Amino acid sequence: MIRATSESIPYQTRFSDGEHEGLADTTADKGGQNSGFRPHGLLEAALASCINMTVRIYADRHAIPLRSVAVTVSLDRSNPEETVFRCEVEPDGEFSPEQKERLMYAARACPVSRTLAKPIRFETGPGAPGD
């Protein structure tokens, strides 16, 4: 569970899971200070981080000689009927085309991707988390 609390600077928001914390804000043109991640940037970061970790874990478990992987995610909200996450995965290592394809398969199967691909329902109100 993540808890987000207001900071004294307009729109600046501190979020924490009780162990780690981060800072979110909005851009200056929307009244913020641009002092932290935008909320949509956090969505992109969650997906990019999950893909990155999933590919690395898969490579480790299957002895694929992956040196590193870079993942870029951009969120396209230009169509009001659809949200598109564009994900670029760049694995680095000495591996076969088959191993690279297996890494790409792992990237597509990351837990955050699977979560975002399901229908989503929002429950907002007092006591909503855990209800």
Tens of pLDDT along 4-48?
999 999 999 999 999 999 999 999 999 999 999 999 999 999 999
Nearest-angstrom CA–CA distance, 79 and 24: 25
Q: Does 105 share its domain with 43?
A: yes
Return mean pLDDT, the chain.
95
Quickly state the pLDDT bin for 128 (edges 50, 70, 90): low
Given a cut of 90, whether residue 127 has pLDDT beyond it is no
Residue 4 domain-assigned (yes or no): yes
Q: What is the pLDDT of residue 131?
A: 52
Q: Does 13 share its domain with 43?
A: no
Residue 89 domain-assigned (yes or no): yes
Q: Does 20 share its domain with 75?
A: no
Average pLDDT over residues 108-131: 87
Q: What is the pLDDT of residue 85?
A: 97
Q: Does 73 share its domain with 87?
A: yes
Q: Does 28 share its domain with 75?
A: no
**Percent of residues, the chain, with pLDDT higher than 90:** 95
How remote is the C-alpha of 90 from its chain's centroid?
16
What single letter denotes the amino acid at residue 95?
F
Strand partners, 102: none
- Domain with 109 in it: 39-117
Q: Does 27 share its domain with 59?
A: no
Nearest-angstrom CA–CA distance, 85 and 127: 31
Q: Does 53 share its domain with 33?
A: no
Q: Does 20 share its domain with 81?
A: no
> What is the reported pTM?
0.90
The count of domains in the chain is 2
